[in-house]
Amino acid sequence: MTTSFAQSLRLRTMLLGFKAVTRPLAWRGDPMARILTAGRDTDPYPFYEDARALGDLSRSGLGLYVSASHRVSDSVLRDPRFGVDTRASLMDMKKMLLDSKGRRPIHPVDDSFIALDPPRHTRLRRTVAPWFTPRALRDLTPLVEKVVGEFLDEVEGRDQWELMDDFAARIPIRIICEMFGIPEIDYARFIRWGTVLGATLDGIRSAAELARVRAALVDLEAFFVDLLDGRRRNLGDDLVSSVIRAQSGSDEFLREDLLATCELLMMAGYETTLNLIGNAGLALLTHREARERVIASPSSADNAVEEVLRWDSSVQYTVRAAVEPVTLEGVDLPTGSLVVLLLAGANRDPDVFPHPDVLDLDRPNSRDHLSFSSGIHYCVGAGLARLEAAVGMRMLFERYPDLRISGPVVRRRSRNIRGALSIPVSPR
């Protein structure tokens, strides 16, 4: 599949138009424009404070509404008058991916139930939920411990290794592949899919990026078509077989739903969780007292992970669109109005979290953060992500209590996914 010249020209024009609008707004201090134009190493938290200073709900010059208030964000996420279909007003990835013949690959986010409103959302979500119950996660714990132990064995004896690629990125890939019943794992391929697709949560920035995304999606789809074909012939007791059983035999689900559901489970838990593990590692490596707590009392790894989710979430914001006219905080929003909910800003709302910029493992309400969203789209995999990160931190610092950062930390370019691309570490 290739991008036609006309498409690429349209995209360039759109991007130039977008930059022409956002840059002057950012110079004038518009918080949302500043977030969207910020550089890789920019600390985003002051922008969220600026947004909060404008009120619990403010209007950006980009034509969006913005909130860094915990109360407003939580209430919008739980409000059935707001839906997830924001395509009419934002970049429509589905349209952008069309090739000259009008075909496009399945997109794990835009084609799956995370991007659907009820009732289809409810029906599709039900087909995967049993795999993420507290009981299912308890049964999974020994496997997570085994996998984390193996990765720590692999780096044993090395003077320096990479916390992201050697450890953080491998845990979520290996666990979801175990759940899917995939024995042979090509880590480099998964990391490529994750990095390319994760970056698109901010939107597409260039024609070259669009081509990379399309190639990654075609490859991802081919992988899942193969996997699903094989599994249909030989159903087992894995997550993929379970989704096939739950979705086949019902006219309401299509072949595309099955593909999109599996791709969503693979990708939604990947960049998010690896960056949670990376952010937790980085927080503990740079906060001596917190690290010593985790070493002295491994059960405090759970608190550490919860507080890192609040303090430095791997998902920074999400968007909702009004599906009917809504009055919110005294503002009349017409149908289709977009509200950007700055989840990471809400997590530092001083009305809910006193001294919000401080990483505090004793904070009694860390778990009230919105990093996993709220309402009907509350993250299905929240428990799995918590488990992987807590086991990861407990075992990492048990094995390497003197672990230290041994080179420059390189941040990701994404503004929505927050985390590091590289954290070189040394065991002594």
Q: How many CB atoms lie within 10 A of CB 29?
A: 12
d(CA 86, CA 380): 21
- The identity of residue 272, as a single letter, is T
Length, in residues, of the chain: 428
Between 265 and 409, whose beta carbon lies closer to ligand HEM? 265
Between 3 and 371, whose beta carbon lies closer to ligand HEM? 371
For the bound state, the minimum distance from the C-beta of residue 209 to ligand HEM, rounded and expressed in Å, comes to 22
Between 216 and 390, whose beta carbon lies closer to ligand HEM? 390
Candidates 217, 231, 313; CA nearest to 266 is: 217
For the bound state, the minimum distance from the C-beta of residue 176 to ligand HEM, rounded and expressed in Å, comes to 6
Residue with CB nearest ligand HEM? 381
For the bound state, the minimum distance from the C-beta of residue 247 to ligand HEM, rounded and expressed in Å, comes to 14
Between 21 and 227, whose beta carbon lies closer to ligand HEM? 227
Residue with tokens 């503990």: 284
Residue with tokens 């789209």: 377
Residue with tokens 């996998």: 147
Candidates 167, 228, 115, 206; CA nearest to 422 is: 167
d(CA 129, CA 289): 37
Q: Which residues bind ligand HEM (CB under 6 A)?
A: 113-114, 125, 176, 264-265, 268-269, 272-273, 276, 314-315, 318, 371-373, 377, 379-381, 384-385
For the bound state, the minimum distance from the C-beta of residue 207 to ligand HEM, rounded and expressed in Å, comes to 27
Residue 236 exposure: Cα atoms within 13 Å on the Cβ side: 12
Between 97 and 315, whose beta carbon lies closer to ligand HEM? 315
Alpha helices in 332-405 (DSSP H): 343-346, 382-399
- Conformation bin of residue 162: beta by default, left when phi > 0, alpha when psi is -120 to 50: beta
For the bound state, the minimum distance from the C-beta of residue 242 to ligand HEM, rounded and expressed in Å, comes to 13
For the bound state, the minimum distance from the C-beta of residue 90 to ligand HEM, rounded and expressed in Å, comes to 13
Between 139 and 289, whose beta carbon lies closer to ligand HEM? 139
Between 267 and 285, whose beta carbon lies closer to ligand HEM? 267
For the bound state, the minimum distance from the C-beta of residue 214 to ligand HEM, rounded and expressed in Å, comes to 23
According to DSSP, the β-strands at 338-341 and 331-333 are: unpaired
